[in-house]
A and B are shown apart, each in its own frame.
Chain A
Amino acid sequence: MSKNTDHQLIALTGVPNVGKTTIFNNLTGLNQKVGNYPGVTVDKKIGKLKGKDHSVRIVDLPGTYNLYPRSEDEQVVFRVLCGLQKGLDVDAVLAVADMSNLERGLFLVTQLIDLGYPAALILNMEDQAAKEGTTINRIMLERLLGIPVFFATADRGRGLDTIKQSILDSNFKSGRKLLTASELIPSEMIDEMMEATGQKNDYRALQVLKFRNEESQLSADVKIDLNRIADKYSFKSAETQSKETELRYDRIRDILSKCVKKAEKEKLNYTRKLDAVFLHKSWGFLIFLAILFLIFQTIFSWAEGPMDLIDTAFAELSQFVSTSLPAGALNDLISQGIIPGLGGIVIFVPQIALLFAFLAVLEGSGYMARAVFITDRLMRPFGLNGRSVVPLISGFACAIPAIMATRTISNRKDRLITIFVTPFMSCSARLPVYIVLVGLLFPEGDNGFFNYKGASLFLLYFLGIFAALISAWAMKQIMRSEKSGNLVLELPRYQWPSLKTVGLTMYEKSKTFVVEAGRIILAISIILWVMASYGPPEKMAAAEASVVLPANPTEAELQHYRGELSNKKLEASYAAVVGHWIEPVIRPLGYDWKIGIALVCSFAAREVFVSTVATLYSIGNDSEDITTLKQLMANEKNDQGEKMFTPAVVWSLLIFYAFAMQCMSTIAVVYRETKSIKWPLLQTVYMTVFAYLSALLVYQILS
């Protein structure tokens, strides 16, 4: 290729579960950018492979079994490879296939060759194939396909250096076509179609013709043209496709018979042994529950250390700034608004990183597909299917990527129900709220071996699942039934998850949280601080006048005066105006106006509750006396001078946060995924009412 390789774009493609992501991570490392394809919500991952004097761009396409698009993921792959995705002109294709499963892998590879792309093929999991007694004549396969073929074991980094060099050297070849469009349709039709679509490759033109009606990137004129051609030749899409599949498989088997040798060994040995345990009729579920329980216990105990450290560091930073900067509004803004706000974001990174690490391990080890398998039957009565389990479990981390993950559910009804109920799953943004509140309930934490905090947390997560399931069931009754969904799911071989992938997932998700959610949280923290520090002037003046400093005060009297003054000022602030305004509505739940402020502000994002409360209560105290938020809250008194955060109030709050929507980003994602304002609106109203009534019930019972 004569093209300047710095601008060269390589598409990385492959069947799901062949280690494509591991290879992508190995080739590009941290030089990755995640974006979005326009109009859809599929992640567009582009990375750079850096060489000595030039680099190459690699786009990691979603895993697909073939180029017959049925889901949004597959639609994107189809679009990019048929040259319909503007701004993404693929120069060559790097395909990945599982070495011990070549027949299915080559289906996609030969389609890519027929599309006319210069290509190269990586046969991954070489060591696995060797163990199973499969040997491949690489030179023969290269000759038969007409493209370079490499062996690799990406998990162990084996074979990747050669591949890197080969990519940098542009070692891609236009292979031998396995079949041409003229074997399937008349050649006059091909000419007409190529002219109508502007495609220079017959197979690309055929693909575009086949999927013309689902493809949004085609202009109306082209569609009309293609429909005319299809009518003229009475083109039958399904029959053509069926014939193509048959021809392709026949020829692939012919190729494989010439270059693959298989020993008659028992295959999938350890996978079958492990499946006997993980998919066992009764233990299977217990193991699944145990894994979930273990994950939450571990997050709790492992995250505690780093979180305390971050907590202390920000407290000290705030202290340092407030004493070293000249006193005044700017000092207050930084030490009481910005620093605690930032601290409130960073403190949750350990938990988010850990949760995503666990999810990456479940995915990478092959267990996630088993979770789908054993739960499918259970989910069906609720209008969900096994595929809903992955989005729902991901909902434990964050509803946003979880709702985006529902793309793999091909049935529209199942998908809508999954989207609707996923925000009930306790996401990581609820964790901070839970942690602070559960910490208030059980200051000691455990009695030796039983952890009350962990158990309460488990209960809250369980309630989320319960709410999701009964809501899904209710929706199933209401929504008119369409044709039932299906489940065609590969259970990949068990393998050790790639540490690099786990690490990159942790990094990426934490970064997204800090940058994306953090921005909103910080902005709201500052707005709140301003609202809590300033108020209607006459009220503020009256508040200041109401507190009298005695003559020649003692240190204790001075302390008391300062505290009293801050409280009175807070009660006269703009924040209080809003809090008082909504108080009548939330009083039956046991909340006062201070909690009211937190509720309103945390509608943007749940975790704002914590930073709001932090801002509100640290203002009520002497800034030199920095104590942790929990202690401040525990000492908080209500109007009657009784303890504010009684167990009834805390449980009511916990339940409210477990069920309420309280997340603007989720609403935005639901709108984008359903392409309608109806669903996010309905969902928000439903969840808020559900949360309000549940919290009301809990408070009235407990108080």
Chain B
Amino acid sequence: MASLTADIIQINETVEILDLDTNDLGQRLGEMGFWPGKSIQLLISAPFGDPLAFKVDNTIIALRKAEAKLIRVKVAITAA
């Protein structure tokens, strides 16, 4: 099982959140629904590849790459 950060996953890839950075920003992401165990999908990136739009639950949340880096995710091996 490989672990990555959410800023480098592929468009349309769905991954499960492992954990988040413990700083204030990480905490804030947690309150917005980025919670360990939850699946997120990268939907689209803005014209210069940054920010990124993730599907979380039933909402779309945009994060900058630097923020997505705070989210550690696990990539499903079965998909590969």
A residues contacting B by CB (< 8 A) are 65-66, 68, 70, 100-101, 103-104, 107, 132, 238, 241-242, 245, 249, 267-268, 271-272, 275-276, 279-282, 284-285, 369, 372-374, 376-378, 386, 484, 486-492
Which residue on chain A has the smallest CB distance to residue B65? Answer: A377
- Indicate if the CB atoms of A488 and B63 lie closer than 8 Å: yes
- Indicate if the CB atoms of B58 and A238 lie closer than 8 Å: no
- Indicate if the CB atoms of B59 and A104 lie closer than 8 Å: yes
Given pairs A275-B43, A491-B59, 17 additional interface contacts (CB within 8 A):
A65-B31, A101-B57, A103-B57, A104-B33, A238-B24, A268-B58, A281-B47, A369-B62, A376-B46, A377-B47, A487-B51, A487-B62, A487-B63, A487-B64, A488-B28, A488-B32, A492-B59
Q: Among B24, B29, B47, B60, which residue has its beta carbon within 8 angstroms of that of A490?
A: B60
A369 and B59 alpha carbons, distance in the complex (Å): 13
In the complex, per-residue mask of B34-60: 1 if CB is within 8 Å of any chain A CB, else 0: 010000000110111111010101111
A70 and B28 alpha carbons, distance in the complex (Å): 10
B residues contacting A by CB (< 8 A) are 22, 24-25, 27-33, 35, 43-44, 46-51, 53, 55, 57-64, 66-67
- Indicate if the CB atoms of B58 and A267 lie closer than 8 Å: yes
Tell me, rounded to whole Å, the shortest Cβ–Cβ distance linking A467 to chain B: 23
A395 and B16 alpha carbons, distance in the complex (Å): 41
- Indicate if the CB atoms of B57 and A104 lie closer than 8 Å: yes
- Indicate if the CB atoms of A486 and B31 lie closer than 8 Å: no
Q: Among B33, B48, B58, which residue has its beta carbon within 8 angstroms of that of A100?
A: B58
- Indicate if the CB atoms of B67 and A487 lie closer than 8 Å: yes
Q: Give the most central of B27, B44, B63, B67: most A CB within 10 Å.
A: B44
B57 surroundings in chain A (CB, below 8 A): 101, 103-104
Tell me, rounded to whole Å, the shortest Cβ–Cβ distance linking A68 to chain B: 7
Q: Among A268, A272, A282, which residue has its beta carbon within 8 angstroms of that of B47?
A: A282
Tell me, rounded to whole Å, the shortest Cβ–Cβ distance linking B58 to chain A: 5
What are 19 A-B interface contacts by the 8 Å CB criterion? A104-B32, A104-B57, A107-B31, A241-B27, A245-B27, A245-B31, A275-B53, A279-B44, A282-B47, A373-B51, A373-B62, A377-B46, A377-B51, A386-B51, A486-B64, A489-B62, A490-B32, A491-B53, A491-B61
A541 and B5 alpha carbons, distance in the complex (Å): 84
- Indicate if the CB atoms of B47 and A238 lie closer than 8 Å: no
B47 surroundings in chain A (CB, below 8 A): 279-282, 284-285, 374, 377
A70 surroundings in chain B (CB, below 8 A): 28
A486 surroundings in chain B (CB, below 8 A): 25, 64, 66-67
Known: A279-B46, A487-B62. A238 touches B27 (CB 8 A): yes
- Indicate if the CB atoms of A490 and B59 lie closer than 8 Å: yes
A285 and B48 alpha carbons, distance in the complex (Å): 11
Which residue on chain A has the smallest CB distance to residue B53? Answer: A491
A241 surroundings in chain B (CB, below 8 A): 27
A104 surroundings in chain B (CB, below 8 A): 32-33, 57, 59
- Indicate if the CB atoms of A68 and B31 lie closer than 8 Å: yes
A376 and B50 alpha carbons, distance in the complex (Å): 8
- Indicate if the CB atoms of A373 and B58 lie closer than 8 Å: no
- Indicate if the CB atoms of A272 and B43 lie closer than 8 Å: yes
Which residue on chain A has the smallest CB distance to residue B49? Answer: A377
Which residue on chain B has the smallest CB distance to residue A281? Answer: B47
Which residue on chain A has the smallest CB distance to residue B20? Answer: A242
A282 and B47 alpha carbons, distance in the complex (Å): 7
Which residue on chain B has the smallest CB distance to residue A280? Answer: B47
B51 surroundings in chain A (CB, below 8 A): 373, 376-377, 386, 487, 489
Tell me, rounded to whole Å, the shortest Cβ–Cβ distance linking B74 to chain A: 19
- Indicate if the CB atoms of A377 and B27 lie closer than 8 Å: no
Q: Among A249, A272, A386, A488, which residue has its beta carbon within 8 angstroms of that of B29?
A: A488
